[in-house]
Structure 1
Amino acid sequence: MEEVYKIKKATYHLWTFTVSKLISTFGAQVYSFAISFYILQMTGSATSFATNLICSILPRTLISPFTGYAADRYSRKKIVIIAQIGTTLAIGGLLIIILSSGLSLGAIYATTCILSITSTFSGVTFTSSITGLVDKERIQRAMSLNQMSISFASIGSPAVGGLLYGTVSMPVFLILYMAASSIAVILESTMNFNLFANRKKDDNAEQKESMWQSMRAGIHYLKLQPIVMSMIWIGLLVNFLFGAFEVGYSFILIEKLKMSSIHFGLTEGAFAFGMLLLSIYLTVRKEVRFPFLLSKRGIIGMGITMAGVGFPLLVSLSYNIVFAYYMFIMFGFGLLVIIVNTPLQVMMQKLIDDDFKGRVFSILETMAMALMPLGMVIYGFMYDIFPAQWILFLSSALLIGVVLFLARPSVIRQVHPELRGVKGVKNHTESFS
């Protein structure tokens, strides 16, 4: 009887988790769109716009290690709810300032910093709680629904943000955001974060262990998990090398190929649509048998796609063909991102102990956030000096080389022992149908 109750509750969690994530992600992206538009319209300054971006990225990078410690030591349900309440109060504070003295850049920057901190606490803690909210058989579905929420928000938020910004005042917009955030708080308060959790609590040990000792314990735990470390190194290097794509894609389409803003937006929409489509598919299909092997092949596909971004610079094509080509490239890239991310996320959820999930995921996020701006800065300088297509071709080759080395057949067999008897892992076919 208890097992039936748990399964029903897990099904409830799947949908409350999805709706809550959709509200928070959609709201944050619509807010970001509207505030960015407001800053540029009010000041016309790229520096002011960039400062707001820094207020979003820097606090997230600095606070991530502490969020992992908190997620592993304290009640994850309380952290998620408090973080969402913090989001609601921050928006409420900005609303009060607007009504009393008008909107200022200082108030926007302060609100962006607070929202960055609360979203980091909520994001890391929610990710650490997946295995406590749903049964093991549906972890892939939960991760796919999470990706689906992000993809849907990416597609819809610019349209909704533009519509709201043009039709309602900023106070009305903030009130709508507060209402949505309050609904998310109510949904999260009905969830049981310990339904399937396997956390080994030792109150005496917790009292003796300081925050720094706890964080060191998380790093020590990672060192003892070679499979997880392999996945993390692959993720970090891929993240860094994809700075070539992040910077180069916009540079090539806007600066080199002179694509219109409408068509450029449609190509980015194709990327989000590809992510959404495959996320929906993964919610209904059975769990991937060999996730590490599939992700390896997906990353190789991403490397080839990245090189393909520079191809139109080598040949003369009509504007319409170039537009159609990049629509296809970005749609395929969106599919590949989900093929790579979702199976790896499911695998990490199952491999990492519940007591260390928060610290491991926060360490991963901190390193990724640190490497992302570094990659963008380095590639930004390179695109000003070298031909764009050759930067993409070289980065693509490095990416494929890194993956072939770090995910070589011997590592694949270590991750998936059932493939040890298979002759030639590289020729083994992963069913994705």
Structure 2
Amino acid sequence: MMESPHSFQVKSAIHMNSIWRNRTFLSLFTAYTLSIFGGTFHTIALNIWVLKTYDSATLMSVILITHLVVTTCFSSIAGTAADRMNRKKMMWISDLIRCVLVIGMAIAIAVQSPFWVIILLTALTALSGLFKAPAFNASLIDVVGKEKIQTAAGAMSLADNIARTLGFAVGGVIVAAYGGVTAILIDAFMFFLSVILVLIVKDFPEHREALSAKTSFKEDFITGFTYIWKEPFARAITILSPMLILFFTTSLMIIQVMAIKEWNASPIEFGLIEASIPLGYMAGAGLIMFLGKRLAHRGVFIIGSMIGLGPLYMLLGGIESATVGIPLILLVGFMFSFCTLLVNVILRLEVSSTLQGRVFGIIGALTSVLPPAGLAIASFFTDKFGGGSVLFTCGLSLFVIGIVCWVFLKDIRRYE
């Protein structure tokens, strides 16, 4: 018996509105979440080991700098590779290499290897990870389709925040109970599971025309920069995204300093402050995910939220109580989700997936440079003038930049 037109339309609507029926997405989503979750174990274990073994915050910062240098130097190269090669293969090979390297890290820590070995393994692990991120990001729109990309991006952001929050909490318990080596081996196991989840994907979309292109790697690498320079929309996103991360990370650091030095926050209040940003972000990402295509005028939300963050930072710079600050910090996380998540959505919608690897790679390189520079400058002035004054200045600067973006970045502002 044939289905009625109404029944068919209902089933089609359910299918169109659900990303959880897509087995390819589910496998990649789970693999991505497990990688993030395991990575938090690795981070905690390695930082604690360095501090206990060498009693040096400087050496701990060397690990962070190693990540930043590798990302800055090789992110664009990895993005170009993602646009030329089989992306599924890139993802599972990247995770397999990281699995082996992380096992090597656990062994190195267990036998108390020299610090240069730890740095070398850190650099190689970071380098291999660079090849997975653009391959995954550039494939997402082909996996779920344009109709579902906003919901999928929201789901990924929620999973990222939940995995990091739970990972740091559980990772700390694992390190305390069983030691850093065990925690790092759990990270290796998560990468191994990620490899399996990517390998079992059967219907993985690939751009055969990109794979069979006759252009050289150098030509494709240059094409990425040329495209961003000539295409107004891509250029606007490439400017806006690192700028948002710059002000966000800088302001977050200042808030943490103010919480201790100026607000005299209790441990409970400081914990709530640390939790407010991810909770606010998850609330915003959840709302964006729920609204899906019903969320209109996305460009207005992006730049409007950016402008709105400025006064929030200015208010935070003037208050003297953690109790008053926590709701405002929660709102910062909420508004920040509308800036960054929607930017990623429209990037995936408007930039050809054959170029997305390069665009994500270039943005990743810029993002790895600007925030550390901002943190260094803000730290200097915070020590000199106090956190409140510097945070107020950051808020005012972001407000002015937001107004400038509203006027000049018309392609984004008018985006529906």
User: 2:259 touches 2:265 (CA, 8 Å); kept in 1?
Assistant: yes
Aligned equivalent of 2:301 = 294
Aligned equivalent of 1:62 = 73
Does the C-alpha gap of structure 1 residues 124 and 112 become closer, same or farther in structure 2, counting only changes over 3 Å? same
The offset of 1:238, in angstroms, is 3.1
SS at match of 2:210: coil
How many residue pairs end up in the alignment?
401
Unaligned residue ranges in structure 2 (runs of 5+): 1-11
Structure 2 residue 56 is matched with structure 1 residue 45: yes
Percent identity over the alignment is: 19
SS at match of 2:353: coil
Within 1, Cα distance between the matches of 2:32 and 2:311?
32
The offset of 1:198, in angstroms, is 5.5
AA partner of residue 228 (structure 1): A
Does the C-alpha gap of structure 1 residues 413 and 130 become closer, same or farther in structure 2, counting only changes over 3 Å? closer
User: 1:61 touches 1:370 (CA, 8 Å); kept in 2?
Assistant: yes
Match of 2:314 among 284, 300, 307: 307
Aligned equivalent of 2:242 = 236
Does the C-alpha gap of structure 1 residues 97 and 329 become closer, same or farther in structure 2, counting only changes over 3 Å? same
Aligned equivalent of 1:351 = 350
Within 1, Cα distance between the matches of 2:211 and 2:190?
37
Within 2, Cα distance between the matches of 1:190 and 1:270?
37
AA partner of residue 404 (structure 1): I
Unaligned residue ranges in structure 1 (runs of 5+): 314-321, 419-433
Does the C-alpha gap of structure 1 residues 95 and 236 become closer, same or farther in structure 2, counting only changes over 3 Å? closer
The offset of 1:98, in angstroms, is 4.4
The offset of 1:307, in angstroms, is 1.4
User: 1:263 touches 1:323 (CA, 8 Å); kept in 2?
Assistant: yes
Deviations 1:275-307 (A, max 9, x none): 223323333322222211111111122212211
Does the C-alpha gap of structure 1 residues 414 and 43 become closer, same or farther in structure 2, counting only changes over 3 Å? closer
User: 1:57 touches 1:116 (CA, 8 Å); kept in 2?
Assistant: no
TM-score, normalised by the number of residues in structure 2: 0.88
User: 2:90 touches 2:131 (CA, 8 Å); kept in 1?
Assistant: yes
Within 2, Cα distance between the matches of 1:202 and 1:17?
21
Does the C-alpha gap of structure 1 residues 110 and 169 become closer, same or farther in structure 2, counting only changes over 3 Å? same
TM-score, normalised by the number of residues in structure 1: 0.85
Deviations 1:332-353 (A, max 9, x none): 1121121111221111101101
Within 2, Cα distance between the matches of 1:235 and 1:414?
14
Structure 2 residue 230 is matched with structure 1 residue 224: yes
Does the C-alpha gap of structure 1 residues 132 and 266 become closer, same or farther in structure 2, counting only changes over 3 Å? same
Match of 1:158 among 150, 168, 183: 168
Match of 1:16 among 27, 33, 49: 27
Q: After superposition, where does 1:64-213 map in structure 2 within 5 Å?
A: 64-99=75-110, 101-191=111-201, 194-195=204-205, 200-201=209-210, 203=212, 205-206=214-215, 209=216, 211-213=217-219
Within 2, Cα distance between the matches of 1:300 and 1:134?
31
Aligned equivalent of 1:323 = 322
AA partner of residue 297 (structure 2): F
Deviations 1:302-332 (A, max 9, x none): 212211221224xxxxxxxx23223212211
SS at match of 2:70: helix
Deviations 1:141-183 (A, max 9, x none): 1111111122102321221111101111333323322222111
